[in-house]
């Protein structure tokens, strides 16, 4: 028996696409995705984008000057309802790194139909919670994927 590894998704150009399945635990009692579940889907998309370019959270904690991320802003527009058992794609584009801030645009789609979209800002922080510039390794790996003026 082979061991199945979880997917980190794939890139379409500079946009990362992470397939996710809606489980019962993601929904309210009617089978519609609960609004907070979309935030978890968006988080997975950002994390798997970074993992796919060789940046893992655990490794950031092991740097000589360890760091992590803190979400400072997220604006979500909900367009349609997703339901239990739906197959969704979380589409992520990072579009800028300015100082300590990293900006991304994300969409969740089902068979091409827009379900939700988010404008996101995270900051790189030290372990004491104070902001810091992203480590050069992160900035360098992100550079070729940045999409200015992403929708």
| pLDDT tens-digit map of 8-40 | 899 999 999 999 999 999 999 999 999 999 999
Looking at the domain assignment, is residue 68 inside a domain?
A: yes
| Residue 95 counted as domain residue | yes
CA distance linking residue 63 with residue 135, whole number of Å: 9
The pair of structure tokens assigned to 69 is 């991320």
- Has residue 3 been placed in a domain? no
Q: What is the CATH number of the domain that holds 43?
A: 3.10.129.10
Residue 6 banded pLDDT, cuts 50, 70, 90: confident
Instruction: Kindly state the helix (H) or strand (E) to which residue 141 belongs, with its residue range.
Output: helix 136-143
Enumerate the β-bridge partners of residue 75: 119
Order of strands, sheet of 15-21, starting from the edge strand that comes earlier in the sequence: 10-12, 15-21, 87-98, 101-110, 113-125, 68-78
Are the C-beta atoms of residues 118 and 75 closer than 8 Å to each other? yes
In a domain, 73, yes or no: yes
| Cα–Cα distance, 60 to 90 (Å, whole number) | 23
Which of 26, 28, 85, 119 does the annotation list as catalytic? 28
pLDDT, position 88: 98
Segment 34-47 shows an average pLDDT of 97
In-domain check, residue 40: yes
Phi and psi at residue 121, in whole multiples of 5°?
A: -130, 130
DSSP-H helix ranges across 17-147: 35-52, 57-61, 136-143
Per-residue confidence (pLDDT) for residue 7, from 0 to 100: 82
Distance CA 142, CA 136 (A): 10
Cα–Cα distance for residue pair 107/89, rounded to 1 Å: 8
Q: Is residue 91 part of a domain?
A: yes
Confidence of residue 47 (pLDDT cuts 50, 70, 90): very high
Please write the tens of the pLDDT for every residue from 128-142.
999 999 999 899 999
pLDDT of residue 2: 65
Residue 119 falls inside a structural domain? yes
Domain hosting 74: range is 16-143
> What does the pLDDT look like over 80-123, one tens digit per residue?
999 999 999 999 999 999 999 999 999 999 999 999 999 999 99
pLDDT value, residue 132? 96
What confidence tier does 58 reach under pLDDT thresholds 50, 70, 90?
A: very high
Total count of domains within the chain: 1
28 is catalytic: yes
Whether pLDDT at 61 is above 90 = yes
**pLDDT bucket at 4, cuts 50 / 70 / 90:** low
What does each C-alpha distance from 53 to 9, 43, 50, 88, 95 come to in angstroms?
A: 11, 16, 5, 22, 15
| Residue 11 belongs to a domain | no
């Amino acid at each position: 028996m082979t061991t199945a590894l979880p997917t980190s998704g794939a890139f379409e150009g500079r946009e990362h696409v992470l397939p996710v399945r809606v489980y019962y635990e993601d929904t309210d009692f009617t089978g519609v995705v609960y609004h907070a579940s979309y935030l978890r889907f968006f988080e997975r998309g950002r994390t798997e984008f970074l993992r796919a370019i060789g940046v893992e959270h655990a490794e950031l904690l092991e740097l000589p000057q360890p760091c992590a991320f803190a979400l400072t802003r997220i604006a979500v527009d909900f367009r349609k309802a997703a339901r239990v058992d739906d197959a969704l794609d979380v589409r992520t584009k990072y579009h800028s790194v300015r100082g300590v801030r990293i900006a991304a645009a994300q969409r969740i789609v089902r068979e091409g139909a827009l379900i939700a979209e988010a404008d996101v800002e995270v900051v790189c922080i030290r372990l004491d919670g104070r902001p810091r510039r992203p480590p050069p390794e992160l900035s360098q790996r992100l550079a070729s994927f940045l999409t200015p003026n992403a929708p």
